[in-house]
Structure 1
């Protein structure tokens, strides 16, 4: 499966485009649409095309991971919400989550209810993370019309 347009729009709206490397709220060097990794260095800059390519590459990585971890059937909105969740928190967070445990038991309502619990960074509640989790939850619960 691939992330749908609604999922990409959600990710872009929360990640924002930054063409110059910066440290996120917990000090991780980040660039583009929330791209992190050992190759991101202080003073680094990107073009729009490079940022778009990094996003595409990152989406491929998280799409593969979500496809591997989730055993329950998903519609495109559910899949895209989980890609956004993993894009922000990492596949390890999804893998260890009650959200995934419930989802893989086909408890879709229970899984959806777990999204808002993931609103912390650095041990503190972050309003922006709660907004993102609620947007992901809404997308997850939206009937797929594709």
Structure 2
């Protein structure tokens, strides 16, 4: 009982304490990493109060992130707390960006990807010899035991499995796109298809993402940048040309459904 009381008092004192910002201009983000949207900016010497702390992306070797009472996260590297350890309670495991999940793609996006991935109801070996099923699902267990739908797959279940496989691409897009990138669900879906096809690493380093993060017109950027992603080596692949055109057409299809940025 005595220990609980002492811990509670220490927790309250930690939250009440203010610490100065060390960097010249420090961004406070929606999650514990530099891929999250900037919500606020602090100046050097400005005092901030911490509500909790949690691990996150490493910044100059420091992996601790501080959640300020403004409701955003800043690397502990930029906060002069006097220690490299915790001075505030640990944030709940659902804190940071994890509680702010990526939007799920709409049916139009799932159908577009399905059209270009092709469907196989039973398990087969892809050109690299990997066991595969449905709309290009690469199996991780023998006989695709991880698949929760009965095999041979129906096309309906194949699309459910595809939607599950799209989640990592949705998450990485949400993380790499900043607050100036304002997308509706069809524009977002076009990007999910592109990232699903080309990979998140390629998407993150692309001029396309850089332009969106500057706040440029989304459909203009997609119309100009997506057609560049049609090569395999030095060859233009007709299938990729068709896919990029389909993605641009989806992006231009009007909808009032909003996707990004996500309000956490």
TM range (shorter): 0.7 to 0.9
Aligned to 1:65: 172
- Root-mean-square deviation over aligned CA pairs: 2.5
- Aligned partner of 2:191 among 82, 90, 107: 82
Distance in 1, matches of 2:250 and 2:169, equals 17
Contact 1:7 / 1:81 at 8 angstroms: preserved in 2?
yes
Distance in 1, matches of 2:207 and 2:241, equals 17
Ranked by relative contact order (alpha carbons within 8 Å, sequence separation 6 or more), the top structure is 1
Secondary structure of residue in 2 paired with 1:31: strand
* Structure number with higher helix proportion: 1
Write the mapping of 1:5-84 to structure 2, written as runs, cut at 5 A: 5-19=107-121, 20-24=123-127, 27=128, 29=130, 30-36=132-138, 39=140, 46-48=151-153, 51-71=158-178, 72-84=181-193
Larger Rg computed on CA atoms? 2
Contact 1:2 / 1:80 at 8 angstroms: preserved in 2?
no
> Which segments of structure 1 move beyond 6 Å, counting only runs of 4 or more?
none
* Structure number with higher strand proportion: 2
Q: Answer yes or no: is 1:94 the counterpart of 2:203.
A: yes
Give unmatched runs, 5+ long, in structure 1.
none
Deviation digits for residues 50-89 of structure 1, max 9, x if unmatched?
A: 6445313212111111111112111000111111111111
Give unmatched runs, 5+ long, in structure 2.
1-102, 146-150, 258-264
Write the mapping of 1:100-111 to structure 2, written as runs, cut at 5 A: 100-107=209-216, 108=218, 109-111=220-222
Contact 1:31 / 1:40 at 8 angstroms: preserved in 2?
no
